[in-house]
Structure 1
């Protein structure tokens, strides 16, 4: 890592401008509405020493870019001080760079008195007015949605024809955009404008620096890693490393879906099946959870087994992103091990609910297609086939490798398998309902899924005459 990068990160920590939080209570809401456990406040660089450091590190980034330029432009408001500080920082590198910024209102007195309309730039520009055709480097502190950058560029273009080869910011959070494509705001800006965006440091730099020097607590590091895996771009995710989660310790199993009507029936079901080797976990839904309270349901199961308890809210993650935090906290408090999410409310809901689940140390299983007829558009339903696949894609890009698929639709299972593997998931784990009353066969679904498969069976077990024998029979089909 270059010296100027280390200098900035060190100073971010020294001034308190960089924070990584142990507790969700301190998380910061970003302009994107994401709740972040890490935050950089460049407003803490507000004295001579810190401004000097900032100018030097910006100068270092510009020098490393090897881009020829004629002047520096500070995007109002925070970019104003940056332009001056960077100009001073470049002097030590043998470069005497002009700087300027723009006013909110035209100046009408002093040197601006009686200027003709064709010299409007002199009324609005403070610093050295650029010449036609100049290469202008733009400076700002951060890049979120990019609105200020587009507006500043439009204003400069009203003064004449200039070239904009480079935009320099302090910290690139390396986050994906809010849409399904995952394209970042910076990538979009570069594509639309042709301007290259560089940062003094990236989230990868910050993460690596903090981890190597053990500068934050293990819990803060864990929370940071979860956030970066969910919201980071591909390069950042490679730096942080893959998400590691194992829900069931065997490759294939049967998961009883415990949609029974009473806690006593649930108690008997778990007691009679918990010693069966082929049972991998228990899935409970809102019926028992709402009637008896989820903590009570988990408590009853724990009398007989330590196998994972998977909560399926039927269907969770169909609300706004923020509600994922409460959902995850309640499941964690109840003692649940994993949650099933069907994030049909959009990409940001999916990312937020996955993040909050991981932040609460819950394992995550994501679904996009269901077993019943007329669900997807191709079946006469509402949800587009491609939209459902996007749900799987986003989860896979985060590193999730556990997926709910319809067990009565082997072709869909194969399609989902191909989709998540194309996102880099190795050995995806599939959890499939849709047997008995919905016509699916465990053996067919398992064949389509491959090596890792868990059949979810409800009425075929709890409505049978003998719960234990029915479970053993389903296990034999794996």
Structure 2
């Protein structure tokens, strides 16, 4: 497990963004862990999270020239990432959407830099069903941008359904024809639990969950 993955998972654990126990997901599956990016709720936490994203993005060698955050959780994530790159000496334009279009002021549903002619990196917390990401892809294309890649914090790496053995991230990547990069995935989570004395007891439930729902 690379350093930025270890750093991200420890940060998530410390922020209570990563919790272990028994959680019923929207899908109805009972998961031994739960991830909530909303718990990165301070400037320090967001800055450290953005650094983890940037390390993962740089390691993947993604080619992009604008950062886009889908409403709502993607907005602070994309903003923090653009600030992190500014600290690293790279100036990147930033844009995001609002859920409901305005008919006054500047109007429309897009805020920030123009997407026209730009290669766009979409930044979000997770890909669950892929609905929000697909909406973002449509918005970007409609504004004349070219989706270049997607970056998320955590890839659960589990099958969409019994009929579709792909993970949600794999399905979106295949449909859009662009890479999806995660700061960490289920495999990293297992490795992390194995090295943390407080989490060793959760390794067995994690392995059982991956055996049942994991994308292999």
Match status 1:196 vs 2:196: no
Deviation at 1:52, TM superposition (A): 0.7
What is the CA-CA distance between 1:205 and the residue it aligns to? Answer: 0.8
1:233 counterpart = 2:178: no
Quote the residue 1:266 is aligned against: none
Matched residue, 1:108: 104
Supply the distance in 2 between the matched residues of 1:57 and 1:185 (Cα, whole angstroms).
22
Deviations 1:23-66 (A, max 9, x none): xxxx2122222111111111111111111111111111111121
DSSP 3-state at the match of 1:105:
strand
Q: Secondary structure at the match of 1:32?
A: coil
Give 1:181 shift: 4.2
Structure with the greater relative contact order (CA < 8 A, sep ≥ 6): 1 or 2? 2
Shift of 1:78: 0.2
Deviations 1:413-452 (A, max 9, x none): xxxxxxxxxxxxxxxxxxxxxxxxxxxxxxxxxxxxxxxx
Secondary structure at the aligned position of 2:45 is classed as helix
Q: For structure 1, list consecutive stretches of 5 or more residues without a partner in the other structure.
A: 22-26, 113-121, 235-478
Which blocks of at least 5 consecutive residues in structure 2 are unaligned? none
Counterpart Cα distance in 1 of 2:195 and 2:180: 27
| Matched-pair contact (CA < 8 Å) for 2:141–2:147 | no
Sort the Cα spacing of 1:10 and 1:107 in 2 relative to 1 into closer, same or farther, 3 A: farther
Q: Which has the larger radius of gyration?
A: 1
Could you tell me the TM-score, scaled by structure 2's length?
0.93
Structure 2: distance between partners of 1:77 and 1:171: 17
Please, which of 119, 124, 140 is the counterpart of residue 140 of structure 1? 124
- Provide the aligned length of Structure 1 versus Structure 2: 215
TM-score when scaled to structure 1? Answer: 0.43
Counterparts of residues 80-91 of structure 1 (less than 5 Å): 80-91=75-86
**Where do residues 214-253 of structure 1 align in structure 2 (5 Å cutoff)?**
214-218=197-201, 220-234=202-216
Q: How far 1:17 moved relative to its partner? A: 1.4
Is residue 69–residue 95 contact of structure 2 (8 Å, CA) maintained in 1?
yes
Given that 1:31 and 1:144 are in contact with CA atoms closer than 8 Å, whether structure 2 keeps it comes out as no
Q: Distance in 1 between matches of 2:4 and 2:206?
A: 23
RMSD, matched Cα? 1.6
Equivalent runs, 1:58-457 vs 2, <5 Å: 58-103=53-98, 104-106=100-102, 108-109=104-105, 112=106, 123-132=108-117, 134-160=118-144, 162-218=145-201, 220-234=202-216
Q: Distance in 2 between matches of 1:202 and 1:179?
A: 20
Measure the CA separation in 2 of the matches of 1:41 and 1:124: 26
Structure number with the higher strand fraction is: 2
Counterpart Cα distance in 1 of 2:200 and 2:120: 42
Q: Residues 67 and 122 of structure 2 are in contact (CA less than 8 Å); yes or no, is this contact kept in structure 1?
A: yes
Q: Which consecutive aligned stretches of 4+ in structure 1 deviate over 4 angstroms post-superposition?
A: none
Shift of residue 153 of structure 1? 1.4
